[in-house]
Structure 1
Amino acid sequence: MAFKNYCVVLVTFAIAVVQAVSYDTELFETESCDSNACFESLQGALEDCTCNVDTIDYFNNVKIFPRIQSLVSKDYFRFYKVNLKKECPFWADDSRCAMKYCHIKPCSKDSVPQYADGHDDHIDESPATKYLKETQNECMADDDHNPDLGYLNMTISPASQYEIAKWSAHDNALENFCESDDRDVDAEYIDLSLNPERYTGYKGSSAHRIWRSIYEENCFRPKANPYSSFPFVLSSDLSNMCLEKRVFYRAISGLHSSINIHLCSKYLLSEKTAFAAPPEGEWGANLVEFQRRFDPSMTFGEGPNWLKNLYFVYLLEMRALAKAGPYFEHEEYYTGNHNEDEETRQAISNMLSVIYTFPEHFNESSMFNKGIQAATLKKEFRDHFRNISRIMDCVGCDKCKLWGKLQIQGLGTALKILFSGRWDGGDADPSVGPLPLRHKSHERLQRTEIVALFNAFARLSNSIRELENFRNMLR
C-alpha cells in the first residue's frame, strides 16, 4: 500500500511539473508569497558586464528615465508605421483575442505628421538627384549638349531587375537582424500614445506558444541540458554556452522580463462598475501578479535572474545608442513642425550627452572575433533573431503584436548597430565614448528603425523604474 501511495504521489508530481512548464511564466497557479524574495538576489554585479544593478538603477531612474520618456512623447517617436495584417508564417492563426483591450485605436489621417504624406523617409542625399529630369530648368540647359549623341540606354530587362532585387535582398539580410514591414501595402501609422502597452487579457495556449517557440526553437541552448522540457535555460546551465549565445539568450530573456513588468504595472484592476469609474476601467500595479511571474518559489528559482537579464539588455541597447550617437545627433527628425523638430534634436543631444558619461557600457568588441567560426556564429545569431521577428506576426492580440514588433525591431536595430560593422571605428573600446561620424549614407537607418530603437529603450527604462515601485510596495 505504501508503495502504491508513493507511485500516486510521484505521478501527481510529474503531472504538475508538465503542466507547469507548458505555460509561459505562469509556472504555478498558487498564491504568491508575501516576501521580498524577488529582490533579495537582484543586486551586485551582472554577468558578462562590468557594472552592478545599483549603479544602473540610479543612472536610469534619476538621469535617463525622465529624459527618454519626454523624448518618445515627441511626434517623431509617437507614430510608428507597421503592418499588423501579415499572416503567421509558422502555424494557422487559430486564436484571435476578442477582448476590447486587444484592439488598436487607429489615429486620424490629420493627426499624423507631414512626413507620412510622401516624406516617410530621410531626404535623399545622393548627388545624382540634381541631375534628374524633374530638377532641370531652362536656365540649366547646355547648348553644347546633344541629347541624341549623349543618349544613355537605361533599359534593364525584367530578368535582370529580378536578379538585382535578389542581390539587394541578400545584402540587406547580411546586416539586418529583423524584417521591416513599414513599406508593405497594409502598413499604417499607429499613434503609440493612444495604444499604451499594458495587460490586455491575451493569454492561454496561443500566447504561451509564442514564447515557447522563441525559447525552444530560436534561442541557443546548452549541449547538455537535463531540463529540456523547461522552455527557459537555467542560469546554472549558461556556463555551458559561449559568450555570443549567452548574450542572445540574456537579451531575449531581458526583453521578456520587461514585457512582463509592463503587464504587471499596467494591469486591469477593475472594469467600469460605477458611474464615477474611468471609462476604460482602472489600471495599476498588481503586486500579486508580479510575484507570481518572478518570485523564486514560483519560477524554479529563476525569477531574479530573469530580472537581471532586464538590466543586461538595457545596457546592450544603451551601448547601441552611444555607438551611433554622432549619427543620431546629425539626424533631422523631420515632422514638418520646425519648433517640434528643433526640440527633438536638442532632447536627443541632451540624452546622448548623459549616456556618454556612463562608464561601463556593454562591450561588444569581445564578440564575433574568432575567424571563420565567428562569421558562421554571427550568421546563426542573425538568422535566429530574424526568425523571432517573424514569430511576432503570430501574436493573436493586435496591441500585443504592435508592442512586440516594435520592441523586437528596436532590439534588432541595436544589434545591427553593434554587429553589422557599419558603425565600427578604429577603436571599438566602449570606454572611448562615441565613435566618429563617417559616411551618413553608408550608415543609414530607416525612420521606423530609429523610432523602434528609442521606444524600445524607453520601455526598458520604464521597466527598471517600475521595479523600484514594486520594491516600495513590498516594503
Structure 2
Amino acid sequence: MAGRFLLVLLAAHAVAQNFLNEDVGDTAQTCNVDAVQVANLRQLHPILHDLVNTTFFRLFRVNLRNPVCPYWKSTDSEPEKPGGTCTGSVPTGPLGKPSFLTKGGPGAGVSSLEPAQEGGCSVEADASSLDLAVDRKLTKQEQVAQLERDNETQDCEFEEDLPHYWMDMCSGDHAKGKELEDVNLIKNPERNTGYNGSHIWQAMYDENCFEVGSTMPRGRFGANEPMCYEERVLYRLLSGWHVSTSISIAKNFYAPGTKQKGAWSPNLERFYHDVGEHPERAKNLHFSFVVLLRAVRKAAPFLNTYAFNTGDEQEDAKTKMLMARLLDSRLLSLCSPLFEAFDETRLFRSNWNPEQRSQLKRQFKSVFRNVTELVDCVQCQRCRLHAKLFSLGLGTALKILLSPEDLIASTTSRDDVVAMVNVLWKLSDSLEDVRTMTKQYYEQQAPIVQPQPPQGPDTAPDLDNTDQPMPQGTRRQLLDLALRNVHKASATGQLPSEAEERLLRFLVAPGQASEEVLLMARHYSDRASTFCRIALFAAEAFESAGSVAAPQAKAKAAPADLVIVGGGLAGMSAAMALLDRGGSVVMVEKQPYLGGNSGKASSGINAALETTVESLVEDTTKSAGALVRPDLIQVLATESAEAVAWLRDRTKVDLSMRSQLGGHTAKRTLRPSNAFVGAELTFAAGQVLSKLAEQGSNFQLMLKSKWTGLRRLDSGVWEIDVQQNGATIQVQGRQLLIASGGFGHDAKELESLLLKYRPDLADFPTTLGPQTTGDGVKLARDLGAALVDMDRVQLHPTGFVDVKKPLENTKTLAAELLRGVGGLLLDRHGRRFTDELGTRQAVVNAELKADEAGLALPAPSPHRAFALVLNSKAAKMADRHVTLYSKKGLLTKAEGVQGLAERFGFKVDVVNATLMDYNAAAKQGIDAFGRKVFPEHWPIEASEDFYVGEVVPVIHYTMGGIAINTHGQVLDAQGKVMPGLYAAGEASGGVHGDNRLAGNSLLECTVFGRRIGMNLPIRQG
C-alpha cells in the first residue's frame, strides 16, 4: 500500500518538477522558476522580512475613510463599465483569466458582476472573528516617524515621448491630495475577511484592454486573440498580484479558534485548487517578482543614498544597513541574474510607426491608471489597504523602469519607496508560501490517498503486499542501473551536487528505495534526468509517508554530537565536515542568516596550492611576530591546500583568481573571478547546510537564536538555553564548539572586552558587524578557559569613509585587493608616504605616524583619513569591487590628474610629480619605501580616469581569544584540555600572534573548522 501511495505522489510531483525547470517567460532564458525560488529562499526573503519590519517600511500612507469609486454608483447597483470596450470570451491559454476568479474573498474573483455587501463572510469562518476594520493605533516612535514624512506630489499629464511621461502612472490618493493617514502594515496583515471582491478583479481583467489600430498586432484581456508584448507584461503583473493575494487569503483563511487555537490557519485545499494545480499562475508570480527586482536594481543608486528618516538614528541606520544588504545581493552570483532577467527596454520598441507607438504608450498607462482607480471600489477597508499598497508598488516599479535614471531621485516619493519594497516582500513571501503550503498539502493528503483500494485490473501490482519480494540479485542489478543514471545526470550537469548526494543516500540506505523506484531505473535508463527527478520526489515522499504511516509519541531527542554557537565560516566548515561523517549537529546563530563577519571578507583566502607550505609558514610567522605559536601555524599552512580544495569542491565556488597581497612573498591568495570571496563562500556553504537541515534529522539550524545559559550535566553532556521567538529551548550536545566571532564591536557593551584590553582604541571605527561582541569568548572565560593575546587587535589600514556620513562608526572595508592591484595612498598634499603592499600593521603605523605629523586629510574628513587612488588600469583589474564601491558612493570617478587634484585640494604639479616618481620606481623595481612589487597598472598617465575615495584605519580583527591546541580543543589556565569544548575562527586566539596575515582569516576558519568536524568523536549507529 505504501508503494501505491508513493506512485500517487510521484505522478503529482512530476508536473511540479517540470514546472521548476521551466523558464519564467518574458525574461532572460537563464531565469527559470527554480533559480528564482532558490535565490529568494537563501538570500532575498530573510532580508526583505527584516526590512519591512522596520519603522520606515511598516508605515503606509493611505486614504481609507472616504474613497470615491468612479465606476459604481453604490454597492447595490450594477457595475458601470470603467471605459474599456473589450468584449468576448475569456482566454483559456496559459495567460488566460484564472478560474479562481470564481472564488470569494479579496483575492477572489468573479462569482458575479455585482459588488458584495460590506462585511460578507465565508461559510468557513465566524463573522464575529473576522476583523474587517483597520488597526489605526501607532506607537510613539511611529508617530515621530509620521512627522518626519516628506510630502510629495507629482503633476500630470505629459506627452508620450517626454522623459516625464511615466511620472503619473498611479492615479492614487497622493496625486489627488486626499486626506491621508499612516497605517501600520504589520498590525494589519492581508488575510481572509469574507469579503467578495469578484467584481473588482472582473473589471481589472475584462474591462481594461488595449485598443490599438487594426494594422497592429492586438490582443485584449477579454478576448481570445494573442496579446502584444506590452499587454502581456501588464497582464502578467496583474495576475501576479492576484495570485499573491489569493495565497495570502488561503494562508490566513480560518480565524483563530476555528481550526487552530490562538492563530490563523490555512485552507490548503483552496490553495491547491487556486494555485497548486496551475503552474502558469505561479509563473506569473515569479515574473512579477523578477520585474520588481529589476526596478530595485535600476533604482539602486537612489536607494543606496536615501535617507530613511524616522527620527530614530539607530533605527534609521538599521534600515539603511538592510537596504544595502538587499542591494548588495545583486552582486552574488546566485542572485545577480534575477536582478537583470527582465529587460524593460523591450517595451515600446517594436517597428511600429511613431503614432502607433504613442498610442500604445497611452493605452498602457491608461490601463494601469484605471486599475489604481478601481481599488477605491473595494468596500472592505483591510482589503482596500493592501490593494492600494500593491497598485502603488507596481506603479512605482513601472515608473522607475520606463523613466530615465536621472529622474528617479526627483520623482520617487517616500510613499513610492515604501510601497515598492512592501510589494517586493509580498511577492517574495508568496513564493515561500507556495513552497511550504504545497508540502503541507501533500502531507495532509497522505492519509487520504493511502487507504484507496485498487482501481481495476490495469492497476500496477501492489508489490508491498506480495509474499515474494524482489530477489536480491535483481535488486542489485536495478540498483546498479539507478546509480548509473544518477552518475550520468550529474556528469551532464542535469543534477546539482546537493541533489546527487541526497539521491545517492536515498538509494543506498537500507529500506528506503522501493521496488517501484528501482523498476523505473530499468525503464528510464535512457532518460537519466527524468529518473533522477522522480526518484528525488520518492525520497521526499518516503519521508512524509513514513511519518504518517506510523505515528508514535515523540521521544526526547538524543544529544547531538556537536552544538555549534555561531554561523560563520568556521562553524559552517565544522558542520559540513561532521555531517559528511554521519554525525549530528545543532547550530545556533543569532543573526537571521548564516555567514557572520566571514561574509564581509573580500580580499581572498590563502592556500599553498601552487606555492610552498614553507613560504606560507614564513610569511605567517613574520606577521605573528614575538607571539608566534609554531605548532598552530604549521597546521594552518600544511592543511591549507587540502582544506581550501575541500571547501571549493563542497561549495562549488570559483576560486580561480590568484593574487599577491600585502605581507606576502608569493601569489597564493585565491578569490572568485567576478565576485566577493567571503560573500560567495558563506552564501554557498549556507545553501548546503540549509538544504541538509530541510532534508534530514541530523542537522538542526536555529537562526535568530541566542544562547542565554549553559551548563554541563553529570553525564558530561552540554545543555544550552537558547532563546528563539520569545521562547527558551534547551539544546543538548556531547561537544560544544564556540565559533561566535571576536569582540571588535564591543566598545559599548557593559562588560566590554575591547575597553578592558585596548582602551586606546575606543574612538577607532570598525568594519565588524554589531553582533561581534565577544559573547562566546566571555562564555568560555566563565567556564575556566584561558584567554590569550587579548590586547592584540588588528587595525586594517583602509576602511572607507562615506563622505555623506564621515563620522559613522561602522565602516565598509576597502579590500586589500584595491592596493594589491595598484591602489595608492596619498597624504593631504598628494604625496605617497608608505609601501601600500606592506603588512597591515606596517601600513597602519605609517598612517598613524603621518597623522601625528599633520599629514592626514583636513576637515571635513574624519581623523586619520587619507586618499585612496586607483588609475583606470588598476580599477579594471578589480572591476567587481570598484563597481560595488562606486555604487555605494565610496569611490568616485575623477577625470585626469586635474580632476584628482580638485577632489582633494591637491596641487596638480605635486600629484604629477608623485605619479612620475612611482612610474620610475616601478620601472626600476624598488621605491623609496622599500616596495618591490608593482602590479601591471603602470605607467600611470595624467590623462586617464582615476577612482578615488577616503580611507581611515579601522578595527578589523581581534587576534586574541580562547586558547586552543592544534585540534581546536579549548585549554584551561594550566594548559590542559577542557573535555568536549572546542573553539574556532575569530573566537579562538593564538593562531595569528601579534598580527594576522591578509587572507588567513578565511583560511583559519576553514582549516580548524574542518579539522574539528573531521576528528571529534561521534555517536556510532
Q: Same fold (TM over 0.5)?
A: yes
Q: TM-score, normalised by structure 1?
A: 0.70
| Correspondence list, 1:221-236, <5 A | none
Q: Which residue of 2 aligns with 1:444?
A: 411
Verify the 8 A CA contact 2:138 2:184 in the aligned structure 1: no
| Correspondence list, 1:189-228, <5 A | 189-203=182-196, 207-220=197-210
- Amino acid aligned to 1:82: V
- Amino acid aligned to 2:73: A
Query: 1:209-253: CA deviations, max 9, x gaps?
Result: 0000000011449999xxxxxx9779xx67x22211111111111
SS in 2 for 1:333: coil
* Structure 1 residue 417 corresponds to structure 2 residue 406: no
What is the deviation of 1:52? 0.4
Verify the 8 A CA contact 1:219 1:249 in the aligned structure 2: no
Query: 1:74-104: CA deviations, max 9, x gaps?
Result: 0000100100121211103412226542111
**Of 44, 48, 52, which aligns to 2:26?**
48
Relative to 1, partners in 2 of residues 1:340 and 1:40: Cα closer, same or farther, differing over 3 Å? same
What is the deviation of 1:470? 2.0
Q: Which residue of 2 aligns with 1:318?
A: 293
- Amino acid aligned to 2:373: R
Query: 1:136-170: CA deviations, max 9, x gaps?
Result: xxxxxxxxxxxxxxxxxxxxxxxxxxxxx9x9332
Unpaired stretches in structure 1, ≥5 consecutive residues: 1-33, 125-164, 225-230, 297-302, 424-437
**Of 50, 56, 63, which aligns to 1:76?**
56
CA–CA separation in structure 2 for the residues paired with 1:363 and 1:332 = 28
SS in 2 for 1:97: coil
CA–CA separation in structure 2 for the residues paired with 1:261 and 1:294 = 8
Q: Which residue of 1 aligns with 2:388?
A: 405
Q: Which residue of 1 aligns with 2:39?
A: 59
Verify the 8 A CA contact 2:211 2:363 in the aligned structure 1: no
Query: 1:247-305: CA deviations, max 9, x gaps?
Result: 1111111111111111111221553699xx32xxx312321011221354xxxxxx221
SS in 2 for 1:66: helix
Relative to 1, partners in 2 of residues 1:39 and 1:267: Cα closer, same or farther, differing over 3 Å? farther
CA–CA separation in structure 2 for the residues paired with 1:311 and 1:196 = 21
Verify the 8 A CA contact 2:210 2:363 in the aligned structure 1: no
* Structure 1 residue 382 corresponds to structure 2 residue 365: yes
What is the deviation of 1:173? 6.7
| Correspondence list, 1:41-440, <5 A | 42-43=19-20, 44-50=22-28, 51-84=31-64, 85-94=66-75, 95-97=117-119, 99=127, 100-108=130-138, 110-117=140-147, 119-121=148-150, 168-171=155-158, 174-182=166-174, 184-203=177-196, 207-220=197-210, 240-268=226-254, 271=257, 277-278=261-262, 282-294=263-275, 296=277, 303-357=278-332, 358-359=336-337, 360-370=340-350, 372=354, 373-419=356-402, 421-423=403-405, 438=406
Verify the 8 A CA contact 1:87 1:93 in the aligned structure 2: no
Indicate the larger mover: 381-390 or 36-45.
36-45
- Amino acid aligned to 1:378: K
Unpaired stretches in structure 2, ≥5 consecutive residues: 1-10, 76-116, 121-126, 159-163, 215-219, 443-540, 542-1021
- Higher RCO by CA contacts (8 Å cutoff, separation 6 or greater): 1
What is the deviation of 1:193? 0.9
CA–CA separation in structure 2 for the residues paired with 1:312 and 1:348 = 22
Q: Which residue of 1 aligns with 2:428?
A: 461
Verify the 8 A CA contact 2:204 2:371 in the aligned structure 1: yes
Q: Which residue of 1 aligns with 2:788?
A: none
More strand by share: 2
SS in 1 for 2:37: helix
Indicate the larger mover: 260-269 or 77-86.
260-269
- Amino acid aligned to 1:197: E
CA–CA separation in structure 1 for the residues paired with 2:229 and 2:387 = 26
Which structure has the bigger radius of gyration? Answer: 2
CA–CA separation in structure 1 for the residues paired with 2:386 and 2:285 = 17
CA–CA separation in structure 1 for the residues paired with 2:302 and 2:424 = 17
Percent identity between matched residues is: 29
Aligned residues: 360
CA–CA separation in structure 2 for the residues paired with 1:199 and 1:179 = 27
More helix by share: 1
- Amino acid aligned to 1:59: A
What is the deviation of 1:109? 6.7
CA–CA separation in structure 1 for the residues paired with 2:396 and 2:349 = 20
SS in 2 for 1:189: strand
Relative to 1, partners in 2 of residues 1:450 and 1:380: Cα closer, same or farther, differing over 3 Å? same
CA–CA separation in structure 1 for the residues paired with 2:198 and 2:13 = 27
What is the deviation of 1:38? 7.5
Query: 1:318-368: CA deviations, max 9, x gaps?
Result: 000001111000100100000111111111111111034422421111111
CA–CA separation in structure 2 for the residues paired with 1:223 and 1:212 = 25
CA–CA separation in structure 1 for the residues paired with 2:312 and 2:156 = 34
What is the deviation of 1:184? 3.8
Relative to 1, partners in 2 of residues 1:65 and 1:221: Cα closer, same or farther, differing over 3 Å? farther
Verify the 8 A CA contact 1:37 1:295 in the aligned structure 2: no
Query: 1:419-453: CA deviations, max 9, x gaps?
Result: 1x232xxxxxxxxxxxxxx4675x33111110000
CA–CA separation in structure 1 for the residues paired with 2:279 and 2:270 = 15
CA–CA separation in structure 2 for the residues paired with 1:199 and 1:221 = 36
CA–CA separation in structure 1 for the residues paired with 2:213 and 2:308 = 46
* Structure 1 residue 471 corresponds to structure 2 residue 493: no
- Amino acid aligned to 2:249: L
Relative to 1, partners in 2 of residues 1:221 and 1:468: Cα closer, same or farther, differing over 3 Å? farther
What is the deviation of 1:180? 3.1
Verify the 8 A CA contact 2:24 2:283 in the aligned structure 1: yes
Relative to 1, partners in 2 of residues 1:47 and 1:91: Cα closer, same or farther, differing over 3 Å? same
What is the deviation of 1:413? 0.3
Q: Which residue of 1 aligns with 2:574?
A: none
Relative to 1, partners in 2 of residues 1:439 and 1:213: Cα closer, same or farther, differing over 3 Å? closer
SS in 1 for 2:69: coil
Verify the 8 A CA contact 2:221 2:235 in the aligned structure 1: no
Indicate the larger mover: 40-49 or 253-262.
40-49
Indicate the larger mover: 101-110 or 388-397.
101-110
Q: Which residue of 1 aligns with 2:929?
A: none
- Amino acid aligned to 1:422: P
SS in 1 for 2:118: coil
CA–CA separation in structure 2 for the residues paired with 1:73 and 1:395 = 26
Q: TM-score, normalised by structure 2?
A: 0.33
Relative to 1, partners in 2 of residues 1:219 and 1:97: Cα closer, same or farther, differing over 3 Å? farther
Relative to 1, partners in 2 of residues 1:223 and 1:288: Cα closer, same or farther, differing over 3 Å? farther
Verify the 8 A CA contact 1:219 1:248 in the aligned structure 2: no
SS in 2 for 1:91: coil
